Amino acid sequence: KKRILSGIQASGSLHLGNYLGALKKFADMQSDDAERFFFIADLHAITVWQEPQKLLDQTREIAACYLAAGVDIEKSTIFPQSAVTGHVELAWIFNCVARLGWLDRMTQFKDKAGKDKERASVGLYTYPVLQAADILLYKATHVPVGEDQRQHLELTRDVAKKFNHDFEVDYFPVPETLYQGPGARIMSLRDGMAKMSKSDPSDNSRINLTDDADTIASKIKKAKSDADVLPEAAEGLENRPEAKNLVGIYAALAGTSVADVLNDFGGKGFGAFKPALAEVVVEKMAPISQRLRGLLADPAEIDRVLKIGADRANEVAAPVVKDVKKIVGLWAGS
C-alpha cells in the first residue's frame, strides 16, 4: 500500500521554495491511489526558541498554506505533529537505535548550531531522529521533500534498516525519497549559491506565500541575474547559478521543463525574461495568497480541520506504536 507523507516546520512564513519543493508536489500527488499524510512539524520548530503564541499562530498558518496550495482534506490528512503522541514515543526508541556517529555527520545541525555548539538544544541535535519517527510512524513508503532534506531522509532509511535488523523483523518499509524536478532546490533571489530560506534576513531574497502581486513583481525585478543572454540549452546554465535558478522557477511554476523555457527564451536577455517570469509567478501565486488570507481570517475553521486530521492520524499511528512496543519488549498491555 502506497503511503505518502511529508511535513513542514512551523517556524516562520512559507516561501516559493517551500511551495515548489513541497506544497505544490503534495497537491499534485492527490490523484493517485495512495494514503496521504501532511503535518505541521511544531515539535521540530521548538528545537530553537519559539515565542509560544507565535508558534501556535504559525502552526495554524502552515495548515492554511496546505489548504491554500490545494491539499484537500477529503484526500489527505493534515495534522499538527504534537497532536499525535506516537511521534515522540517512537523518537525515543529510535534515539536508542540511531548512532551518535550518524548524527555527528548531519550538516543541518552544524549549520544551525553555529560555532557555539555547547549552547544548542539537545533537541536540535536529535532532530533527524524525530524526523525518522515522523515518517516511520505511518510506515510511509514515499516522502516528497526538497533537496535540502536528503541527508535526513538517508538517516530515516538507516533507522528503518537498523531497527529491522536489530530486532530481526521486517516491520518498517524503507521509504523512498521523492525530489525530482526543477523545484527541488530553489535558491535565494539575491545569491544563486544560497538556498531560498525563511531565515535569510533579506526579505528580497525570497517570495513569500503572503506577498501581493506588486511585491512579487518588484522582487523579481531586483533579483540578481547576469549580463548575458539566456542559452539555447540547459548546459549553458552551468556556472550561472542565478540564471539557472530563475529559469528553474519559471519551469517549475509553468509545469514545463528547463529545455522548454530555453526554447522560448534562449538568445533573449533578462530584460525580456524577467517580466515574463514575474507574470508567471504572479499568475500562479496570487490565487494562493488570496486563498491564504481568506483562510487565516477563520482560525476556528483551521482548528476544525486540524482536529479531524489529528484524530485520523492517531488512528493510524496507535497500532504502530503498539506493534513497536511489542517488538522492543516494552509492556504494551495484555
Cβ 59 to ligand TYM shortest distance, Å: 12
Q: b/e string for 7-41 if b means 16 or more Cβ within 10 A?
A: bbbbbbbbbbbbbbbbbbbbbebeeeebbbbbbbb
CA distance linking residue 305 with residue 174, whole number of Å: 30
Cβ 201 to ligand TYM shortest distance, Å: 16
Cβ 213 to ligand TYM shortest distance, Å: 22
Cβ 10 to ligand TYM shortest distance, Å: 8
Nearer to ligand TYM, 11 or 225 (CB): 11
- Residue number of the CB atom closest to ligand TYM: 21
Nearer to ligand TYM, 201 or 271 (CB): 201
Relative to beta strand 3-9, strand 35-41 is parallel
Residue found by looking up cell 525563511 in the block: 198
- The angle at the Cα of 233, spanning 282 to 268, to the nearest 5 degrees, equals 55
Cβ 153 to ligand TYM shortest distance, Å: 7
Which residues of this chain interact with ligand TYM, rule CB under 6 A?
A: 6-9, 17-18, 20-22, 41, 44, 131, 134-135, 143, 145-146, 148-149, 152, 184-186, 195-196
CA distance linking residue 217 with residue 214, whole number of Å: 5
The grid cell for 333 is 498491555
Nearer to ligand TYM, 17 or 192 (CB): 17
Chain Cα centroid distance, residue 88: 20
The grid cell for 85 is 503522541
Nearer to ligand TYM, 95 or 266 (CB): 95
Nearer to ligand TYM, 9 or 210 (CB): 9
Q: Which residues are annotated as catalytic?
A: 112, 195, 198
Angle at which helices 213-222 and 270-296 cross, to 10°: 150
